[in-house]
Amino acid sequence: MRRTLLATAAATGYIFAAGFTMAAPANADPYGGQQADTVVSSLQAKGYDVQVQGDAEAPLSECTATQVSGLSGPGSTVYVTLSCDDDHDE
């Protein structure tokens, strides 16, 4: 009886843990990984006030959007986090 209870508990734990590792985030960032200038233009065209966070010296065309936060509706401020090439100042 005790073995059955332990085996059931272990199986339940594995299934529960597998559910967490396989589930995709409910609010996955649809803009992550895209070219920054495209993301900024798209958001501005939809009516968002866009603030960029990252390398202030790099042109947006040399950057990738890694995260967009604050997408609560047109007219709100959204923050676009950038990852830029290091060789833009050469």
Q: Which domains does the chain have, with CATH numbers?
A: 2-89 (3.30.10.20)
The larger pLDDT score, comparing residue 28 to residue 52, is at 52
- Give me the pLDDT at residue 15, please: 44
What phi and psi, each to the nearest 5 degrees, are found at residue 35?
A: -65, 135
- Give me the pLDDT at residue 75, please: 92
User: For 5-29, how does the pLDDT look when each residue is reduced to its tens digit (9 = 90+)?
Assistant: 444 545 544 444 444 444 444 455 7
Global confidence as pTM: 0.63
Strand extents, DSSP E, the chain: 49-53, 63-69, 77-84
Count of other CB atoms within 10 angstroms of residue 48: 21
Provide the mean pLDDT of the chain.
Answer: 76
- Give me the pLDDT at residue 18, please: 47
